[in-house]
Chain A
Amino acid sequence: MKHVIYRNLTSKILSFGFIFFLTFSISINAQEETAEAAGDPVNGKSLFNANCAACHRLNKPMTGPALANVEQRLYEEEGLDREWLNKWIRNSAGLISSGDAYANKVYNEWNQVAMNAFPQLSDQDISDILAYTAAPPPAPAVAETAVAEQAGGAQGGISNEIILGALAVLFGLLAMALIVVKRTLNRFAEAKGIPVVEEDEKRLPLWKAFVQNQFLVLVTSIFFLLGSAYFVYGYLMQVGVDQGYEPVQPIHYSHRIHAGENGIDCKYCHSSARVSKHSGIPSLNICMNCHKAIGQVAEATQQEGINEYGVDYNAEIQKLYKAVGWDESTQSYTGETSPVEWIRIHNLPDLAYFNHAQHVSVAGVECQTCHGPVEEMEIMYQHAPLTMGWCINCHRETNVNVQDNGYYAKIHEELSKKYGVEQLTAAQMGGLECGKCHY
């Protein structure tokens, strides 16, 4: 747990550093650009992200073509100037219907997907955006900083050891002090002529004395037996309990990035948890809702993945594309699919019936209550023991969520009167009965 928190801290420091550096570097670039194209790439970036990023990327084709240096390329390759670009951006459909040759060519090349019209963009806005597209990507520099920050982050992680080291030194000093004190006392005694009692040579060795003392032997062996029984019991009780089970999955899927950093609601992907007994592993088409557009992670995230988790996130996204049959170059499905064989982590035995809808929709239990801090898990693991004792404890302690639920109105009123409580627990509601979960 602690480690996880630090890891999170690290990533925060990292991202902060990254943003700081980016701002800095861009501002430098911006200064250079201003001289040339009179556009503000900083503003351009935010405009780009707001308006264009849904379909365009700088260096890779997406729904629309890659836009790095688009103005320059257009001018050099097609002889089209800013005027044409302005028209295209503000009303591409108009340009196409006007019969413009290159406009029609682009339209047809890109599967006749019409580009949205952006009449709200001013000339200055377009200049800014184009300035941003013309700016060289600042990636390499970021990598360096990331590494630098990494070192910094690592130092933070060592602090535990420092404290321990300090403590060790402290204990060492204490021990030395004690030895010194003893020696001094001895010296005093010598000086005063008090005889220091030396150990009796003939005294029995400690173990023999111990063995001869039957009472002690008895007590010790009882203690020893109890102790081993405790451990044996402990061992046996964990048989079949897979708390902490963290199998290697066919795709390295990071809940930390999705649920944590991006804050995607659990039930966006695990939607059946609302209505069904199964939370459901999302089908790949759910992934593609976002990953159609996100073919690569941010550079910083990519570096973080390589350095911290030894995983190439972009390669993992490629695995998804392969499974779902998505061809990035043509931005279309090939139809060749190969379902992902995830390894199931939470394996409730078949004899136990558990219903997600009851807990998620009716009781309003947070997913994290049972599944732990999923938003911090790089790889999903089993947080709870999933034992019957664990279920029952929760049922004993948790109050039934009766707020605005017409089903509970009558039964809760009568039952709470009977038990003399304000709020009924799940157990009082009958949540401990065998047949509620075993049938």
Chain B
Amino acid sequence: MSSNKKYWKSVEELNENSSIVETLQQNEFVEEIPTDEFLGDKASLESSSTSRRDFLKYVGFSTAAASLAACEGPVIKSIPYVVQPKEIIPGVANYYATTIADGYDFASILVKTREGRPIKIENNTDAATNGMANARVHASILGLYDSLRVKAPMKEGSEISWDTFMSETTSKLDAIKAEGKEIAILTQTFASPSTRNLIADFKEVFTNVRHVEYDAISESKTLAAFQAKYGERAMANYDFSKASTIVSVGADFLGDWQGGGYESGYAKNRIPANGKMSRHIQFEANMSLSGANADMRVPMTVAEQKLALAKLYSYVTGSAVGGSLPEALDKAVRSAASEISKAGSNAVVVTGLQDVNAQTVVLELNEYLKSKAFDPKTTVKTRRGDDNQVMRLIKDMKAGKVAAIIMAGVNPMYTLPNSSDFAEGLKKTELSIAFSMKEDETASECQYIAATPHYLESWGDYEFKKGHYSVMQPTIRPLFDTKQFQEVLMGWTANEQTYRDYIKQIWSEDILNGESFNKAVQDGVFVSSYDEMGAYDILDGNNSEAEDSEEVPSGNAARALAASSKSNGMELILYPKVGMGDGQQANNPWLQEFPDPITRTSWDNYLTVSKSDADAMGLVNENVANGGLNGSYANVTVNGTTVSNVPVIIQPGQAKGTVGLAFGYGKTKGLKEEMQTGVNAYPLYQNFSSVQNVSIEKASGMHEFACVQLHNTLMGRGDIIKETTLEIFNTKDKEYWNAVPKVSKDHIETPVTSPDVDIWDSFDRSIGHHFNLSIDLNACTGCGACVIACHAENNVPVVGKSEMRRSRDMHWLRIDRYYSSQESFEGDNEKKDNISGLSSSLSEFGEMENPADNPQVAFQPVMCQHCNHAPCETVCPVAATVHSRQGQNHMAYNRCVGTRYCANNCPYKVRRFNWFLYNKNDEFDYYMNDDLGRMVLNPDVTVRSRGVMEKCSFCIQKTQKTILDAKRAGRPVEDGEFQTACSAACGNGAMVFGDINDKSSKIAELKEDDRAYHLLEHVGTKPNVVYQTKVRNTAKA
């Protein structure tokens, strides 16, 4: 029965006499459609040269022409060498050992070259003592192909020839010398024996010369403390693999602390073996990588850290210091001290506090403990900058006392807190020369820019640690008209040798001790006994032996430290980010797009604020409807210097009363517009102190972040990152802490791994290779070297900030970071298990979305899991993704039609879709958009086009290569030969790749390890990636 109800659309309709209703009934559109305007204008229609018919003709013709043209293949030219170099075979990669030493990152590396082009950085496994290549080093190869490099020497903005450069500068220098004025050389830390000698030669020739070494992020206090104690301006070496108890007070030793390179030693002892692993206690303010990996992390302000260190010293040595800590903190320090005392010489204490007293306390404490991990003899030389000298230089420049300044490897106009003073001083010099690869802030202010080659085009020699040398050799001819700083120095001092010959001479005289130079170049590293050191080290003082450490040190330093600890207001802690370091590589799109391991945010730096401080100041973070993270802006003021509009991120674990801000962003010169991200923190780095008293006020507006992980907690889903404590691991059965999930079949609990509960038939993979990748969550520090290595190996495109914000990142390998919402992840699990009923589940799950104030942190690298029963494969309508017998899930790009069904069906969300064409596209103006940048592409991996899905391939190009090499040699593949880019890049040994059908292999052993589990095992996908349960050493002493 129909009703007589009348529905009305607006109140107006109720009014029977409304004219509006009447009009609307007649007209569909309220406003008239202006058809007459364009159709009625006969004149313009007729005057148009293109009629509608013509238009259709053109469309038809161009379509036909395009389709016809598509049938005709292009003519491709192939141009062989005229004379082929003996070492180059097209299609075969050559590897060269070399060294990166840009003043911030120092590492011995291998460079993979194809047809003479360097295309990838790898670890030099011979160089165990020099640390492994970190994310920045892996990415540094892009700097070689940077289109903004200075291509020839320049004088006041225009290019000149080297001859002109040399003659002009030499005459000017000679004139300055004749007048007896001072010449200043301001350089990065070179740690290079030959360069030091060259500078000494230069001093000899030009007499009145001052050489100042300058580190953008200073370790001056560390050096001073060490020098005061040991007489040498250097840093102590630490081997964390020898420490069973590590206490760090504000030292991010897994990051860039004292030059970095300590993570692989640390990771060795983090893998539980024979029931033992190291215990790591971290006192810090910012949430750092080290804090995230610590077994116990105590957030505290820097003032409290100072006191804590002094107290720690006092509790261990028994000498009294003044001051008092809040009770909770004091308890933590007390327990740390008792653990140190218990571990004795197996303990080590480190600090990152830029304070001479703090550094002295640590040196004294380690010496007192006779710490095995502490090595003051093999001194580390990768930081030498002296703040006081830099300041004095600026003062003298301002006073007009410096006639000429020569700068190499530094960018003081960007990195100095008082860059305006420097600019003023620069104007007063008669001659200013910047050795630079870019027209950066400093170079563009100088009279001359001496175009320098990239390190992959250069020669060099380095001494990272006493007796541990590394050689830099060119891997490609200089792409541009460039000269090294050293070569020009040799030109000025009328040294006729080539720089290589000069290095060889220095080495054979002072270093090699009769060993072959060529072998050292080939290996890239050379270790000599430091007892036999020659006298080349001009700047180094004499090395007094360490004092007898039997007696208890005076404790004066500790008392001074305690006395200096005073807190007033908010503290700002400036820190280098894992991805950006000191900002030298700001024009590197890989690093810009690299999500920070802690915040998972890319393309930005930001103020990290604790939740309670943020609430107090009204600073917010919010996830908006399009899936992006927005954050408030704040103005940050230190001593009258304000950096405004700093975006704020609320950082769990940030000590209350502190905020953090990263260096390296906010560069404005010598980089593409896309890379000009973030704010410059250097103006706040006053007196080279990384801790500043700061006032913060909220600014208007919201910042749009490109954060790739908005969900920060696991919400009690303990099967994603399985965790246990060392105690349980040692005492309980595997069933207890790493049980295989079960499902009920016919009311019988059956493990999901059983074939009975599998809906798929298993494929026999017992013959041939079966690749597996094991990821040890204990050894993974989250450093991200693998992410960049994967980028380089697999031609993964860079998508830019706005696409990242839309979660369209293309990283084949991501490192998920989770915070616990309770004190620990275990607490999360308990809380989840205890939830019952709808009301409690709604509220409590809601609570669990928020991380705790000081959460436990876990990292988990996730790439395609190469499931044996892959959900993506079954849904592909065109069979573009299929499985291989070798355990790799293949992706045939050319077959893919882009339905994205596979990505939807992937439980791990590792598939990436090419929303756009990322190469040769001006919208994505990164390295793939210029001829120079594309030289870095790996020719063995397809560059994907728009509209196809892509994902981790288990580096099939590498496994295929390994297999082919074995076939050609007619031998089986040995264990360790199979590598993926990520496993090869992982210096921590967290990633192990191999063939599980080779029963003697390490991976076969790891797959059967008690700690092994699969991600989301209950889904039954049977992945070929194995994770090793994270074990925390939470044992209380």
Report if A355-B972 is in contact (Cβ < 8 Å); known contacts: A275-B92, A343-B75, A414-B767.
Answer: no
| Docked-complex contact B970 and A404, CB < 8 angstroms | yes
Q: How far is the CA of A56 from the CA of B64 in the complex (A)?
A: 62
Least distance between B814 CB and chain A CB atoms (Å):
20
Chain A hits for B968, CB < 8 A: 275, 357, 361-362
| Docked-complex contact A275 and B885, CB < 8 angstroms | no
Q: Does any Cβ of B come within 8 Å of A341's Cβ? A: yes
Contact of B967 (CB < 8 Å), options: A341, A353, A362, A415: A362
Chain B hits for A435, CB < 8 A: 882, 884, 888, 890-892, 953, 956
Q: How far is the CA of A343 from the CA of B71 in the complex (A)?
A: 19
Interface string of A348-364 (1 = CB under 8 A from B): 01110101011001100
Chain B hits for A286, CB < 8 A: 84
Interface segment out of the listed A33-41, A276-284, A307-315: A276-284
> Which residue from chain A places its CB closest to the CB of B886 in the assembled complex?
A430
| Docked-complex contact A439 and B956, CB < 8 angstroms | yes
Q: How far is the CA of A438 from the CA of B90 in the complex (A)?
A: 20
Q: Which 8 A-B pairs have the closest CB atoms?
A: A435-B890, A276-B91, A283-B84, A283-B81, A278-B91, A344-B78, A277-B91, A281-B80
Chain A hits for B973, CB < 8 A: 407
Least distance between A398 CB and chain B CB atoms (Å):
15
> Which B positions have Cβ atoms within 8 angstroms of A?
70-71, 73, 75-84, 89-92, 764, 766-768, 882, 884-886, 888, 890-895, 940-943, 953, 956-957, 960, 963-964, 966-973
Chain A hits for B80, CB < 8 A: 280-284, 339-340, 342
Chain B hits for A357, CB < 8 A: 964, 968
| Docked-complex contact B71 and A239, CB < 8 angstroms | yes
Q: How far is the CA of A123 from the CA of B90 in the complex (A)?
A: 52
Contact of A433 (CB < 8 Å), options: B81, B890, B940, B953: B890
* Residues from 410 to 439 in A contacting B, C-beta threshold 8 Å: 410-411, 414-415, 418, 430, 433-436, 438-439
* Residues from 136 to 154 in A contacting B, C-beta threshold 8 Å: none
* Residues from 316 to 359 in A contacting B, C-beta threshold 8 Å: 323-325, 337, 339-344, 347, 349-351, 353, 355, 357-358
**CB pairs A–B below 8 angstroms (17 shown):** A275-B968, A276-B90, A276-B92, A281-B78, A284-B81, A337-B82, A341-B78, A355-B964, A357-B968, A358-B964, A406-B972, A408-B967, A411-B767, A411-B768, A435-B953, A439-B941, A439-B942
Chain B hits for A408, CB < 8 A: 967
Chain A hits for B767, CB < 8 A: 411, 414-415, 418
> Which residue from chain B places its CB closest to the CB of A337 in the assembled complex?
B82
| Docked-complex contact B75 and A247, CB < 8 angstroms | yes
Q: How far is the CA of A434 from the CA of B895 in the complex (A)?
A: 10
Report if A285-B73 is in contact (Cβ < 8 Å); known contacts: A415-B767, A433-B884.
Answer: no
> Which residue from chain B places its CB closest to the CB of A325 in the assembled complex?
B82
Chain B hits for A323, CB < 8 A: 82
Report if A343-B77 is in contact (Cβ < 8 Å); known contacts: A275-B92, A434-B895, A438-B893.
Answer: yes
Q: How far is the CA of A168 from the CA of B891 in the complex (A)?
A: 59
Q: Does any Cβ of B come within 8 Å of A164's Cβ? A: no
Chain A hits for B888, CB < 8 A: 435
Chain A hits for B78, CB < 8 A: 281, 341-344
Contact of B890 (CB < 8 Å), options: A284, A337, A406, A434: A434
The interface on chain A, measured as residues whose beta carbon lies within 8 A of the other chain's beta carbons, has a size of 54
Q: How far is the CA of A285 from the CA of B80 in the complex (A)?
A: 10
Q: How far is the CA of A191 from the CA of B886 in the complex (A)?
A: 89
Q: How far is the CA of A6 from the CA of B527 in the complex (A)?
A: 70
> Which residue from chain B places its CB closest to the CB of A433 in the assembled complex?
B884
Chain B hits for A242, CB < 8 A: 73
| Docked-complex contact B73 and A275, CB < 8 angstroms | no
Report if A285-B882 is in contact (Cβ < 8 Å); known contacts: A340-B79, A439-B941.
Answer: no
Report if A351-B89 is in contact (Cβ < 8 Å); known contacts: A283-B81, A283-B83, A284-B83.
Answer: no
Q: How far is the CA of A87 from the CA of B92 in the complex (A)?
A: 52
Q: How far is the CA of A240 from the CA of B69 in the complex (A)?
A: 11
Least distance between B888 CB and chain A CB atoms (Å):
6
Q: How far is the CA of A284 from the CA of B80 in the complex (A)?
A: 8
Report if A407-B967 is in contact (Cβ < 8 Å); known contacts: A281-B78, A418-B767, A430-B884.
Answer: yes
Q: Does any Cβ of B come within 8 Å of A409's Cβ? A: yes
> Which residue from chain B places its CB closest to the CB of A414 in the assembled complex?
B767
> Which residue from chain A places its CB closest to the CB of B893 in the assembled complex?
A351
Chain A hits for B953, CB < 8 A: 435, 439
Least distance between B864 CB and chain A CB atoms (Å):
12
Known: A284-B82, A347-B76. 6 other contacts (CB 8 A): A275-B968, A284-B81, A285-B82, A353-B960, A434-B884, A439-B890
| Docked-complex contact B76 and A409, CB < 8 angstroms | no
Chain B hits for A325, CB < 8 A: 82
Q: How far is the CA of A272 from the CA of B86 in the complex (A)?
A: 11
Q: How far is the CA of A247 from the CA of B76 in the complex (A)?
A: 11
Chain B hits for A344, CB < 8 A: 76-78
Least distance between A373 CB and chain B CB atoms (Å):
22
Q: How far is the CA of A408 from the CA of B769 in the complex (A)?
A: 11
| Docked-complex contact A410 and B76, CB < 8 angstroms | no
| Docked-complex contact A409 and B972, CB < 8 angstroms | yes
| Docked-complex contact B768 and A283, CB < 8 angstroms | no
Chain A hits for B966, CB < 8 A: 407
Least distance between B877 CB and chain A CB atoms (Å):
15
| Docked-complex contact B972 and A410, CB < 8 angstroms | yes
Chain B hits for A349, CB < 8 A: 894
Contact of B76 (CB < 8 Å), options: A277, A343, A439: A343
Report if A430-B768 is in contact (Cβ < 8 Å); known contacts: A339-B82, A406-B971, A409-B972.
Answer: yes
Chain B hits for A347, CB < 8 A: 73, 76
Q: How far is the CA of A404 from the CA of B968 in the complex (A)?
A: 11
| Docked-complex contact B882 and A362, CB < 8 angstroms | no
Chain A hits for B75, CB < 8 A: 247, 343
Chain B hits for A324, CB < 8 A: 82
Q: Does any Cβ of B come within 8 Å of A120's Cβ? A: no
